[in-house]
Structure 1
Amino acid sequence: MEREVLDEVGPAVAKRGYYNRGDLRKVALWKSPRSTGYIDRNGDSDIEDLTRIALAAPERLRHRLLCLLDGVGVPIASALLTACEPSVFTVIDYRAIDTLRAHGELSQRPSYTSYLQVCSELAKRLDTDLRTLDRALWQWSKEQDKASQ
């Protein structure tokens, strides 16, 4: 599903400049399958208008504007942004946060803006892209869970 979101949905949305219902559902399903029922509460015009405004807004405000949609919290907003611009945005996730904390990169629960800054700086330091970093952070946390069982 990640390939579809990043290779098809995201580029189509970036070109169009807004999400439609189907694209919004696909990204929400990728990030959090439980959210799709809440996503469906949004009207088509609200989805188009709010996502058009959000995607055109300054980077620091985009995730906040996306959160105006029903069923879209910061994690899903970050996934919506990542789908469109994976070189600029990354998905915020509790596993990645746990990994960053365990390695001394974060000391407290971050805002999305501060999380993105930490991840961007770390990716640059490690000479990798944000998607690769996100996958590695998630995997490390997952392996820690397995090791503790």
Structure 2
Amino acid sequence: MNETAVQPATQAIVIDEVFPHDAATTWRALTTGDLIARWLMPAEGFEAVVGNRFTYKTTPAGAWDGTIRCEILEVVPNERLAYSWKGGDDANVGYGSKLDTVVAWTLSPVAGGTRVRVIHSGFVLPRNETAYRNMSDGWKKVTRRLDATAAELGPSGKPH
């Protein structure tokens, strides 16, 4: 039997958008705690420093308390941010199933703004099918809210 046959299938959510803001403004919206709460959800203890651990809190389900545990894996200011995204419980099926994934944001300058690419990878199917489906739509909405939050900051990176 080859390795591929014993590896569970994994899926990634990929969102690729161009924002009409510079990378520094988008980065500020992406990495500032009170701003993150506006486009995603409150991040307890967030700091864009490799090794920093922080949490998000969402709706609990079954044996899962709703806490998403994250750790900053990579920081390249104005270019790349990656963090682990872990939650759920082995006892849950569907919403709240065990999740061990990575969220990676990449910012690249383009004419008229910044290409923003988010890849949320590591969804194990079929176990994480519900999370994958829900978050596929969710990340599209989150990315639009990130764009709106950056727009409110303006080119100086400060609120209008």
**Same structural fold, with TM-score higher than 0.5 when normalized by the shorter chain:** no
The structure whose RCO (Cα within 8 Å, separation 6+) is larger is 2
TM-score (norm 2): 0.28
TM-score (norm 1): 0.30
Considering fraction of residues, name the structure with more helix: 1
